[in-house]
Amino acid sequence: MPEPAVPPTPPVPLAALLAREDLALRQIAGPTGPGIVLHGAHTSEMADPYPYLLGGELLLTAGVHIPDATGSAGGAPGRAKPGPGEYFEDYVSRIVAAGGAALGFGLAPVHDTVPRALVAACEAYELPLLEVPPQTTFSAVARAVWQLMERARTAELRRVTEAQQSLAAAASRPDPVPSVLRQLAQRIGGRAVLYGPEGTEIAGAGQASAADVPLAGLARLLVSRASATASDTAPDGAHLAAYALGAGRGFVLAVAAPRREPGDHTIASVAAVLLSLLTGEHQSGSGAARSSALVRLLLGAAPAEVAPLLGDERWLVVHARPDAQALGPLAASALGAGLGSPLVDLAKDVVRVLVPAGRAPRPQPGWTLGVSADAAPADWPAADAQAARALARARATRAPLVRHGSGAGLRDLVPDDEARAHARALLAPVEASTASAALVETLRTWLSLHGSWDRTAVALSVHRNTVRQRIARCAALLGTDLDDPDVRMELWFALKRR
């Protein structure tokens, strides 16, 4: 029979449910201990609950399905009805086969006590049996399980977020690789090892154990198969996982943990990204310089400080806002992974990602993106502004992704210095006003959206009447008719070269 599927939700210890004084639950049979966990709660009065269990549940029953001692229920026609012992053995064995974690028996309204044969069967099959008092409803028990699961989920998200921050801080220390490994081993409560291209251990952290030999074997297997990840279980029960660092470089991060917590994979993946960047320094020439620059950017260095390391390499700046999901570190990290870059900056209401120009960003489900033109490091501030404007246009037009235009056109026939001089002269009246920044940005956005008041208001997050007032002010300062398409074209040219 195949292994029962366990829902991918944070489990809660059975002991935590028993500790709820308001429920007054009492365990009367079966094993105890922190290793017994619940993945949910389900109520059923079916004589065979197997088809209705996913695995890991606390099954709640009032015993409606139980035949009386004389065998008045159950059994096939013409055949002796099963006795209490036989019935409960069949019933409990089916719960165990389905992967049920525990059984809760209600003392009302059918039974005054828990049947002794049921207690014996649960002891025999090592299924925890809980006595549910008459004043405690099954819905209250189920609600308590879901509340405990939600707390466990929140705690796990907090653990992952704190681990990400501590790993990034470790990567900024003078000995970044050992520091990252130490922090990772501490966070997963196990062992973390970095293997080199020849399969030799470069650095490790955490207490050595019997899992070290199969861990090294898993790392070698990962390299030989040219896979990104691999997992296994050691003879002592430790959970093993390996992560390839970079493409074809041969470095592998391998971890062993006594338990497999839901967030461990995410934590190890963050460490793998950092170690991939750090081990990039083993490359030669421009590759090492680029990895060094990426690490510094990831840890908060200003673009001007790393620009000399990147030479003439060109980049894209991406601005993104979530459509519905909450904006947080996990969502931002997931977006960076989708765009193929670890260089993610989470601001108040936007995520900024720095992506090599060779990786053309694609629309990401649940996000609205604005992408700059490709730019050298010295032009990153301008590219950042381009991405912000592209995002505003994407939100106003409800497009999943908008790219800043960078193709050649008629405007490129005019020398840059002459075009900029013309733009300065044409826009001088607006630039000289007290609210020049707001006026110029409103004019630019309004022209890019073909004079739509509503979409411009959405893009700038202002009221449509504010847009009308600013455009009217621009028209007065420029002394021109903004409804004239020739005027609009001239102003758009000037704003593009400003």
pLDDT in tens, 273-309: 888 877 654 444 445 555 566 666 666 666 666 666 6
C-beta separation of 334 from 322 below 8 A: no
Flag whether pLDDT at 3 surpasses 60.
no
Report d(CA 81, CA 417) in Å as an integer.
99
Do 141 and 16 lie in a common domain?
Answer: yes
pTM score over 0.85: no
CATH of the domain at 457: 1.10.10.2840
Find where tokens 């593009």 sit.
Answer: 496
375: DSSP letter: B
pLDDT in tens, 337-363: 677 777 788 877 888 988 887 777 888
Quick one: average pLDDT of 24-50?
A: 92
Quick one: average pLDDT of 377-381?
A: 76
C-beta separation of 478 from 443 below 8 A: no
21: DSSP letter: T
Q: What is the per-residue pLDDT for 415?
A: 66
159 within a domain of the structure (yes/no): no
CA distance to 228, 279, 291, 309, per residue, from 282 (Å): 20, 6, 10, 15
Q: What is the per-residue pLDDT for 468?
A: 93
Report d(CA 359, CA 375) in Å as an integer.
13
432 within a domain of the structure (yes/no): yes
6 within a domain of the structure (yes/no): no
Helical pair 416-431 and 464-478, crossing angle rounded to 10 deg: 110
Flag whether pLDDT at 158 surpasses 80.
yes
Flag whether pLDDT at 2 surpasses 50.
no
Q: 45 vs 281, which has greater pLDDT?
A: 45
The number of residues in the chain equals: 498
Q: Which residues lie below 8 Å from residue 159, measured CB to CB, with a gap of 6+?
A: 187, 261, 263, 267
Q: What is the per-residue pLDDT for 224?
A: 75
CA distance to 85, 110, 123, 369, 397, per residue, from 66 (Å): 11, 10, 18, 60, 63
CATH of the domain at 69: 3.40.1390.20
Q: Which of the four pLDDT bands, split at 50, 70 and 90, describes residue 125?
A: very high
Flag whether pLDDT at 25 surpasses 90.
yes
pLDDT in tens, 219-232: 888 877 766 788 88
Do 139 and 27 lie in a common domain?
Answer: yes
DSSP letter string, 440-491: HHHHHHHHHTTT-HHHHHHHHTS-HHHHHHHHHHHHHHHTS-TT-HHHHHHH
The boundaries of the domain holding residue 278 are 172-282
Report d(CA 292, CA 289) in Å as an integer.
5
Lowest mean pLDDT among 200-214, 267-281, 290-304, 469-483: 290-304
Q: What is the per-residue pLDDT for 413?
A: 53
* pLDDT mean across residues, the chain: 82
Find where tokens 């049979």 sit.
Answer: 29
Do 273 and 354 lie in a common domain?
Answer: no
Do 219 and 130 lie in a common domain?
Answer: no
Q: What is the per-residue pLDDT for 330?
A: 61
Domain count of the fold of the chain: 4
Do 242 and 341 lie in a common domain?
Answer: no
Report d(CA 148, CA 15) in Å as an integer.
11
Q: What is the per-residue pLDDT for 282?
A: 44
